[in-house]
Amino acid sequence: MSRRPFAIYTVGALCALLLVCGIGLILGQVFRTLMHNRLKKEIVLVEGSRVFESWKRPPPPVFMEYFFFNVTNVDEILKGAKPIVTQVGPYTYREYRYKDNVTMVENGTMVSAYNTKSFVFLLEKSVGDPTVDNITTVNIPAWAAMNKAKISFFRSSMLNMWMNSLRTGLFTTRTVHELLWGYEDSLLVKISTTNREVEKDFGLMIKKNGSNDGEFVFHTGEQNYLDYGRVKTWKGQRQLTFWSTNESNSIAGSDGSAFHPLLNKDERIYIFTPDLCRTIYMDFEKDVVVKGIPAYRFTPPSSVLASKEENPANEGFCVTSNECLGTGVLKVSPCRKGAPVVASFPHFYLGEDKYIDAIGGMSPQREHHQTFLDLNPTTGIIVRANKRAQVNILVGRVVGFPKTKNLTETIFPVMFLNESVEIDDASAMRVQKLLLITKLVSNFPLFIVGLGGIMLMIFIVLLFRAHKQKTSTEEDSSYSPVSQKDKDDPQNGNCIGLTPKGGTQA
């Protein structure tokens, strides 16, 4: 036999092997599974893992912007008019976050940490100087005190007297810095002389600079990748105690800083937020691309803050039935020492019209007031996020306080914040590289199939040419079979010659 047919059959066999292997690997998704297992193994919260350092000290810069609602018609409001507010902001702070006292607990299956944040003001990204700009808004300490005192005639009379002597109004004018980071309130000072538990200072972000919101214990994700970054306990509790049902009190999901890899479009993402004293959730909205990295956008649906009529699962959030609010607002008094604080999205986005219409100057817009989270589905890494929330105070008639008699029950907006983060260029580059490797490895079988295809083409060409050559040699040289026979003959002779030899030996 000549070498050519052998080469042809080798090519043919190789091509068949490659095609079968390649298609088999594609159908079995072997390399994809391998790569996914690798990701699951590497994205865990243990010392030396790919993500641990950036989990402890996230490199992307976080900006916190505060916007205030400056009340323009205080005197009219006190006579019963609709409040008119103007939005003032942003006052922007660079937020530095890191995880403090990170320790492995429970035999290394859990990790305990404190989430520390500090804020440094950025004048160039702000509308003005927070220590100078004056904002007129609801006098929150007074409203909190009135709400506490209204249950007893004695206490409300006492408070009324104090408020009159101190000339404490229902509204107050303070600088942005005071409202955020705290000021000594004369009414609180007075109250603290009789009740030592009451603090003299008030501020929306008081004591939040350089502090943490309690100990978190997280799952590392080593046992199950779906548990990566999931909160197990907060301040030693597995459940909250603020609300009235187990569902509302549940601590589910992560703290918003880590999400498991290999995300699905139809999964619901849970985030436990100590600020809101509850777990919220987000659903897939659309595909986005940030700095070349593909991501899924998750946003909270309106059912998160829906009234209990619209979403019975929210029943536990209205603790006493006579003060249940409507859709788009969450009364957080149980975790604000009873102060009439109401949380919502900015400008009552996703809220009922009655809340928006009650205040002059509200205009909710999805683009500006939506909270969202863009996660890379392969790695679970946050590529961009905007958390937007508004602080409101429930104002209205309070029994025993004549000053409030003309007020209509209103959820009064005070401030909203926009906490935003976008992946930094260095991290983006690393993620892109990782995604590229994942893609290449996952698609390796395609490469094999491609190679098989090329071999198939070579095989066909060779076969065709061999066939052509064979027919052409058959045509012009009739002795060729003879020569082949000549070649075979000596072998045959040998065989024949050997047999008689063996025969004689036997």
Ligand X SMILES: *[C@@H]1O[C@H](CO)[C@@H](O)[C@H](O)[C@H]1NC(C)=O
Task: Tell me: does residue 386 bind ligand X (CB under 6 A).
Answer: yes
Burial of 463 (0-12, 13-18, 19+ CB in 10 A): middle
Using the minimum distance from each CB to ligand X, give the nearer residue, 114 or 242. Answer: 114
Task: Kindly tell me which residue out of 52, 98, 121, 242 binds ligand X, with binding defined by CB under 6 A.
Answer: 121
- Rounded Cα distance, 276 and 331, in Å: 9
Residue of 412, 255, 278, 411 lying closest to 335 (CA atoms): 278
83 and 410 Cβ atoms separated by less than 8 Å: yes
Distance of closest approach, residue 136 Cβ to ligand X, in angstroms: 5
Which of the stretches 50-58, 207-215, 239-247, 284-292 binds ligand X when contact is defined by CB under 6 A? 207-215
Task: Kindly tell me which residue out of 47, 53, 76, 100 binds ligand X, with binding defined by CB under 6 A.
Answer: 100
- Rounded Cα distance, 359 and 143, in Å: 18
From residue 240 to residue 279, the character string flagging contacts with ligand X as x (rule: CB under 6 A) and all else as - is ----------------------------------------
Hey, which residues between 413 and 452 contact ligand X (CB under 6 A)?
A: 418, 420
Task: Kindly tell me which residue out of 49, 54, 112, 118 binds ligand X, with binding defined by CB under 6 A.
Answer: 118
Task: Tell me: does residue 96 bind ligand X (CB under 6 A).
Answer: no
Distance of closest approach, residue 417 Cβ to ligand X, in angstroms: 9
Which of the stretches 114-122, 317-325, 336-344, 371-379 binds ligand X when contact is defined by CB under 6 A? 114-122
- Rounded Cα distance, 54 and 428, in Å: 13
Distance of closest approach, residue 438 Cβ to ligand X, in angstroms: 29
Task: Kindly tell me which residue out of 10, 29, 37, 101 binds ligand X, with binding defined by CB under 6 A.
Answer: 101
3-state secondary structure of 199: coil
Nearby residues of 24 by Cβ (< 8 Å), 6 or more positions away: none
Task: Tell me: does residue 106 bind ligand X (CB under 6 A).
Answer: yes
- Helix (H) / strand (E) element for 38: namely helix 30-42
Hey, which residues between 283 and 342 contact ligand X (CB under 6 A)?
A: none
Task: Tell me: does residue 133 bind ligand X (CB under 6 A).
Answer: yes
Task: Kindly tell me which residue out of 35, 88, 332, 350 binds ligand X, with binding defined by CB under 6 A.
Answer: 88
Distance of closest approach, residue 11 Cβ to ligand X, in angstroms: 57
Q: Measured at the alpha carbon of residue 20, what is the angle toward residues 19 and 21, in degrees to the nearest 5?
A: 95
- Rounded Cα distance, 283 and 139, in Å: 37
Map tokens 């507010």 to a residue: 85
Using the minimum distance from each CB to ligand X, give the nearer residue, 106 or 489. Answer: 106
Which of the stretches 30-38, 100-108, 163-171, 471-479 binds ligand X when contact is defined by CB under 6 A? 100-108
Task: Tell me: does residue 210 bind ligand X (CB under 6 A).
Answer: yes
- Residue 231: left if φ>0, alpha if ψ -120 to 50, beta else—which one? beta
What does the H/E/C string look like for 235-264? CCECECCCCCCHHHHECCCECCCCCCCCCC
Amino acid at 213: D
Nearby residues of 104 by Cβ (< 8 Å), 6 or more positions away: 46, 47, 110, 111, 112, 220
Task: Tell me: does residue 114 bind ligand X (CB under 6 A).
Answer: yes
Strand 183-184 versus strand 171-175 pairing type: unpaired
Task: Tell me: does residue 184 bind ligand X (CB under 6 A).
Answer: no
Using the minimum distance from each CB to ligand X, give the nearer residue, 333 or 386. Answer: 386
The footprint of ligand X (CB under 6 A) covers: 63, 65, 70, 72, 88, 100-101, 106-107, 114, 118-121, 132-136, 181, 209-210, 212, 368, 386, 418, 420
